Amino acid sequence: DAKTTQPPSMDCAEGRAANLPCNHSTISGNEYVYWYRQIHSQGPQYIIHGLKNNETNEMASLIITEDRKSSTLILPHATLRDTAVYYCIVRRNSGGYQKVTFGTGTKLQVIP
Amino acid sequence: SQTIHQWPATLVQPVGSPLSLECTVEGTSNPNLYWYRQAAGRGLQLLFYSVGIGQISSEVPQNLSASRPQDRQFILSSKKLLLSDSGFYLCAWRDSGGGYTFGSGTRLTVV
């Protein structure tokens, strides 16, 4: 019952920008979009999150459409170390327990 | 700073044996803690969550149980492991900003 859908896999040439899409058409007004990545056999790592404005940090940029029904994670200059599974989830930033389901994510393969 | 520790990193156990995986958090108090399982080629499945000492909620009926004996300790257990319990188990903590921090995981192989 994941609230997000992502393509199962993508390839990206090393040095190029990697654009990973995520659909979250049922997102509520108070839910944020979070992105994580999981490198093989490690715990998922937080990348970035946003509500409606575009966000940028040292790792990536997050572009959220005006209707908030989809978003794109951008890795501006992909390296081989960016090869990982990328998860997009939606959740509120406050309040008590929330059931958050991680889908199968997008497996990004950065090619030399 | 807040950190989360999980051990062991890998574990091979025979069918029918007991299991105990431990997770501890440092640098915060009264955290919301979670156990996830990731089977091969699949997403993260939420198993248990806890909002405080002694408070455990199960998301999926299964052969596992969880306990929270201390504020910053979360334990995943089984009395008798099944082959289907094999997987990658992750402990996570939800911070005040709503994000998750995950432990390094335990890869369990039941043989």
Chain B residue with Cα closest to A95: B98
Does residue B108 carry a pLDDT above 60?
Answer: yes
Measured between CB atoms, which of B32, B90, B99 is closest to A34? B99
Q: Per CB distance under 8 Å, which residues of A are interface residues toward B?
A: 2, 32, 34, 36, 41-46, 49, 87, 91-94, 96-97, 99-105
> A102 vs B44: CB contact, 8 Å cut-off?
yes
User: Cα(B91)–Cα(B74) distance, rounded to whole angstroms?
Assistant: 8
Chain B nearest CA to A44, separation (Å): 6
The tens digit of pLDDT for each residue in B62-99 reads 789 999 999 999 999 999 999 999 999 999 988 776 77
Q: B23 and B4 in contact (C-beta within 8 Å)?
A: yes
> A43 vs B44: CB contact, 8 Å cut-off?
no
Amino acid at A109: Q
Which residues pair with residue A10 across a beta bridge? A108
- In chain B, which residues have their Cβ closer than 8 Å to the Cβ of A103? 43
The tens digit of pLDDT for each residue in B4-61 reads 999 999 999 999 999 999 999 998 888 889 999 987 777 788 899 998 999 998 887 6
Q: Which residues of chain A have pLDDT under 50?
A: 1
Measured between CB atoms, which of A45, A93, A101 is closest to B46? A101
Chain A nearest CA to B16, separation (Å): 25
- Other Cβ atoms within 10 Å of B39 Cβ, number: 13
For residue A1, the model assigns a pLDDT of 44
Residue owning tokens 């008798």: B80
- CA pseudo-torsion sign B78, B79, B85, B88: positive
Residue owning tokens 């709503």: B98
Measured between CB atoms, which of A94, A97, A102 is closest to B43? A102
For residue A94, the model assigns a pLDDT of 61
Q: Determine whether A88 is exposed, middle or buried from the number of CB atoms within 10 Å of its CB (0-12, 13-18, 19+).
A: buried
> B99 vs A96: CB contact, 8 Å cut-off?
no
